[in-house]
Structure formats: structure tokens, C-alpha cells
Amino acid sequence: MARYRKTLRRKKGGTTLATASRASAQPASRLPAVAGAAWPYASAPEAHELFLPAARYELFVGGRWTKPKSGRYFQTIDPSTEEPLTQVANAGAADVDAAVRAARTAYERYWRRCPGSTRAKYLYRIARSITERSRELAVLESLDTGKPIREARDFDIPLAAAHFFYYAGWADKLAWAFPGKTPSPLGIAGQVIPWNFPLLMAAWKIAPALACGNTVVLKPAETTPITALILAEIIQQADLPDGVVNIITGGPDTGQSLVTHPGVDKIAFTGSTEVGKAIARECARLRRPVTLELGGKAANIIFDDAPIDQAVEGIINGIFFNQGHVCCAGSRLLVQEPVLETVVQKLDQRMQTLRIGPPLDKNTDIGAINSKAQLQKIRELVRSGDDAGRPRYETRCDLPDRGYWFRPTFFTNVALSDRIAREEIFGPVLSVMSFRTPDEAVDKANNTPYGLSAGVWSDKGSKNFKVTAQLQAGVVWANTFNKFDPSSPFGGYKESGFGREGGVHGLAPYLQR
């Protein structure tokens, strides 16, 4: 806070746009100077009493709920209150083995020979069930992750359903997707997903795998297993043949057992670059096909001819969406010098209007950090920004007493060599830098080991096309950010991974061609 005040003082010392132009005389107002009334929003919690999680969840293996052979369970908590949510089975090596065997049986006996139109029928059923149970899924997603209900309701759940609808459409048209080839499934897909978009990531993984005729063993993240388990319920109710989808919960050991299990034909992983590299090593050793969707440190580039207010919205959305727990978050902001001061001022002003609080409140913009470990990591990196002496701006609102919370924050005058400019923070922290020419912007944007996404803001179409083509990133947005559609491929360059998910490209990693 002290640092923030210091920043404010420094700002007052300089010439700002406002002070510079106030000199031009304007007629004094004919109206009295008055202040409006305070108008706080009343709390508006989403009704959730009907949708609380079960007391305990077992493993979903071979179409049945089975107790873990390990006999162990772990607790998941609501990160916004630290209250326990439910008990979840911890799958050991024997459970992973059982799941892979179930997947193998389902693959050999039924699924690989089942007509594409039949696979499509099941996928459509799953998609419809997700839509029908969307409120329940949104509430549980919000409870489990700490994300605002508004985002779970308007983004996670509808997009998860959209992926199933989309890939259902491809299931009987694979030959048209790859003309001249005869695509066939790979077999058993082992899939490990992260905690930032639990149901959506499950959909990204399961939908294309099933459409292509593979069977699946999916491991959701340790801190956010609930919606994947509800998806298991949905899959059971959709009458999918036993063992086509198996969902096993657990920690890193469970993931390790799955990745190295001899019965698995393909690995798909979304998560940290560190774990991704370890998985890549294992898969190289085992000669196992693998796709990785890893970290990012995306640059958002704002030119001086950009639509500034919408760009500021885009930056806010790009870095603070889902508390910054987004691999494609726009965590570096490159601003052309003539508009730097304006953008920083507007960014601060807009950031102060963000509503941080109970995730289930329909008016909450920013929820809780997903775990204590993540909160510590964010704090550590922010400290490194402070230590480097970078001016810090943050929201001034009150935070709840319990739970894991972090104020939306940005640093200015950041150097490319700073840790906050190089390392993925995976939290609501933005690093602002400036540039003068388009070439410099491209240079700085590409100066990162990552390459998942990027954004360009300019009202000039030709400039957008020229700059976006030079950015080494799997997804580049122009005059928008964080836009997703099942028909659009998503994936990384460099240390952000390889392979694409979404679109016709998302079929390729699950097929022999």
C-alpha cells in the first residue's frame, strides 16, 4: 500500500494529459457542483443449495463408481473460504491400471468398430446433458475453482458443451477432414488436465478423442475434480458403453502412473511447462505420441492508433479473466509511447472498478486464487517486481478475511529481464512495458521462451495483419482477447507446447493417418 501511494505521488509530479490541457479555458459550469448518491449493489448470490457436491466421490472406471484400491481419499476445499467441499478418491497405480484395462476392453470390443454416426450420437447426448445441467455445473465449478459464477455460467460451461456439439459433428466425417487418407484411432488416450478450467479442459480432451474412436482415461487436477466427476455422471446417464471414458482422480503420482502406463497409446497434457517437459521426456523414452499445451507469457501490443477504451477492456479481460489463471493470459502489455500515460491512467481507473469477492455472487468480477500454493507463487513473483523497484498499481478494495485472495495488480516500467516479464505468474499480475516502433514491439513480444498467444490493438487493419503475421504465438487476437470457439485451433509455439486442440486440427493428434 505504501508503495502504491508513492506511485501516486510520482504521478502527480509529472505532467499528465489532464493538467496539460486544463490550461485551455472552458466555460465554468453553470450548474452547482454536487456529488451523486452512493449506490452499492446488494449481494446477489446464485442459488446453490440444490447443487452442493456429494460427501464423497469414487473413481469412475469401466462405467462404474469404484472405490480406490489404494483405500485413500483426499479433501478438496473451497478456495474462497478454505472450507472443505468433498472427499475424492486418490487413485494409486493399481487403479490407473484398472482404468487403462477398462479403456482397452471398451476400445477392442466395441468403440473402435462402432460407426462414426453412433459415436456422434453419444457425443450429442453428452453435449445436451451439459446444457441441461449447466446451472449445477456452473455452481460447482465456481465453488471448486474460486472463479466468479458469471464466468463459469457464461464461459466455461457453454463452451464445454459447444466442444462436444462441435466434435460430435466430425465423428462420422473423419475421411472428409483428411482427404485421401483413411484415418483410424490410436487406441487409449491418457489425458491429464489443469485446474483453471476443469470442465472445459475435460471437454477439450474427451470430445475429439471420442469423435476419433479412441477411448479415454482422464485425470482431472487434484484441486478441482468435481465437475469432471459430474461429467462422469453425465456420461453414465448418456449410456456410453462401459469403459469408453474413465475418470480417475489423484495427484501427481496418479498422473505419473497414467503417463507411463504401458497400455496407453497417446498422452495429452495441459498444464505447467515444468511438468510438460517431464512428460515429454517420458513419452520420448516410451516412443509415445504426445500433445502438450503448456504455459504462456502473452504480449498485448497497443499502438497509438488503437481504440483505447476497448483496448483497456481487452487488457483487463486478458490478464484478470479467471484471476489470471489462464495459460494464454495477456500478462505482458506493450504500449506505444505516445499513449503510455493515457493507457496506464485508464487501466488503473478501470482496475479500481473490478468487483472482488464471493465467487457465487453474480456481480463478482474477480474470485479467489485457486490454491495456497498458487497464492504463494504469485506473492513471490510480485515481491520480485517490488525488489526490482517497478512501480506497482493495485486495487484498493477490501478483501475477504478467509480464503486465498490477491488484488489485481500491474507493474509499470518493467524491463524484459525482470522475472515478472519472463516467468509465467499465472495470477492477476500484469507487466507494462513501452515501445516506439512496430518492429520493436514485435521484437519484444517474441522475446520470451513461450508462444501461446498474443494480442494486437490498432484501428488500422493493414498494421494488424502485418504485425500479427510476425508474432510467434499459436493464437493471435486483433482488437479483442480471450476469444474461443470450438472450430478454432488452439496451441503453442516454443515452450508453450505442441499439437493443436479445437477445429479440424484438433482431430489430428487422435488419429493415425
Partner 1 sequence: MAFVPVDAVGLEERAAVLATRSIKRDAKVAGLRLAIGCMDLTTLEGKDTPERVNQLCRKAQEPDPADPLVPPVAAVCVYPNLVTSAKAALQGSPVQVASVATAFPSGQSPLRAKLEEVHAALEAGADEIDMVIDRGAFLAGRYHEVAAEIAAVRATCSNAVLKVILETGELGTYDAVRRASWIAMEAGADFIKTSTGKIAPAATLPVALEMLLAARDFEQMTGRVVGVKVAGGIRTAKQALQYLVLVKETRGEARLHPRFFRIGASSLIDDALMQLAKERTGAYQALEYFPKD
Q: Which residues are catalytic?
A: 293, 327
- Bridge-based pairing of strands 188-192 and 266-270 is parallel
181-240: which residues touch partner 1 (CB under 8 A)? none
DSSP labels for 278-320?
A: HHHHHHHHHT--EEEE-----EEEE-TTS-HHHHHHHHHHHHH
Closest CA to 149 of 42, 41, 45: 45
33-62: which residues touch partner 1 (CB under 8 A)? 33-42, 44
Give all strands (DSSP E) within 8-131, no chain letters.
Answer: 56-57, 59-61, 64-66, 73-78, 83-89
Greatest alpha-carbon span in the chain = 83
User: Which one, 37 or 469, has the nearer CB to partner 1?
Assistant: 37
User: Which one, 292 or 339, has the nearer CB to partner 1?
Assistant: 339
Q: Does 396 bind partner 1 (CB under 8 A)?
A: no
For residue 423, the SS3 value is: coil
Interface region with partner 1, contact rule CB under 8 A, candidates 25-33, 114-122, 138-146, 396-404: 25-33
Q: Which position among 2, 5, 14, 29 is part of the footprint of partner 1 (CB under 8 A)?
A: 29
Query: Taking CA 108 as the corner, what is the angle to CA 105 and CA 111, rounded to the nearest 5 degrees?
Result: 95
User: Which one, 41 or 176, has the nearer CB to partner 1?
Assistant: 41
What residues pair up with 301 in beta bridges, in sequence order?
A: 334, 456
Q: Which position among 3, 10, 67, 362 is part of the footprint of partner 1 (CB under 8 A)?
A: 362
Closest CA to 279 of 512, 505, 499, 92: 499
Site string for partner 1, 136-175 (x = CB under 8 A): --------------x---x---------------------
Q: Which position among 313, 419, 422, 504 is part of the footprint of partner 1 (CB under 8 A)?
A: 313
Q: Which position among 24, 75, 417, 462 is part of the footprint of partner 1 (CB under 8 A)?
A: 24
In angstroms and rounded to an integer, the radius of gyration of the C-alpha atoms of the chain is 24
> How many Å apart are CA 233 and CA 215, to the nearest integer?
17
Site string for partner 1, 318-357 (x = CB under 8 A): ------------------------x--x-------x----
- Write phi, then psi, for 74 (nearest 5 degrees): -130, 160
Shortest separation between residue 139's beta carbon and partner 1, angstroms: 15
Interacting residues toward partner 1 by CB under 8 A: 17-18, 21-22, 24, 26-27, 29-42, 44, 150, 154, 305-311, 313-314, 342, 345, 353, 362-363, 459, 479-480
